Homo-oligomer: A and B are copies of this chain.
Amino acid sequence: MVSTASPSGELPAKSKRADAVRNQQTLLTAAAAVFVTSGVDAPIREIATRAGVGMGTIYRHFPTRADLVVAVYRHQVEACAEAGPALLAATDSPFEAFRQWVDLFVDFLVTKHGLANAMQSDSSGFAALHAYFLDRLGPVCVRMLDAAVEAGEVTPGIQAYELMRGIGNLCAGRDGDPRYDPRTLVALLLRGLRPD
């Protein structure tokens, strides 16, 4: 499970040594850089080397791989989560708002090398990653979907959880294949939500 003890990545809660906070920042920066070039499942050693720290340091700050990934992308996930209600308020059609929100989500996933793949991986410390995304974004999705259903723009009976996972899954796979555009498939999926 992703460490819930502290909002790691944000303001240090209390009494942490100076070098510790410094290292945590260094690690986040290094990890972000490495994720771009080598994907989120890059070797731990690579991140450690890049940050100029030992491997023990990584494990102390981020016990599981998911903790590190979550910390790196926390801001963007947060932004996405907050965009939901905003879109809902700013748009006449709840479905259209939902469509735009999904676009945001998809953009996020496809621009992060291998993130979508990692989320469905059963192994490693990636299980927690899956949980984090769904915990944070799931409720937003529920709310938007409900609104769309209530407005008669979406067939009732669809589970938000299932839908989110479906969208996530569609964004996974070998990236860079010009013959496969996740957006096309997601659009098709959303089309299937419409009532007759």
List the interface of chain A (C-beta within 8 A of B).
Answer: 114, 117, 120-122, 127, 130, 158-159, 161-163, 165-166, 169-170, 172-175, 179-181, 184-185, 187-193
Contacts and interface: CB of A to CB of B under 8 A. Distances in A.
Which 8 pairs of residues, A with B, have the shortest CB-CB distance? A191-B192, A192-B192, A188-B192, A120-B173, A166-B185, A169-B169, A122-B174, A165-B180
Contacts of A181: 162
Given A184-B162, A189-B188, A172 B169 contact: yes
Contacts of A187: 192
A172 B169 CA distance: 7
B179 A188 contact: no
What does DSSP make chain A's interface, helix, strand, loop or mixed?
helix
A161 B179 CA distance: 7
A185 B162 contact: yes
Given A170-B169, A173-B169, A180 B162 contact: yes
A158 B180 CA distance: 11
A120 B174 contact: yes
A179 B130 CA distance: 14
Contacts of A185: 162-163, 165-166, 169, 189
Contacts of A192: 187-192
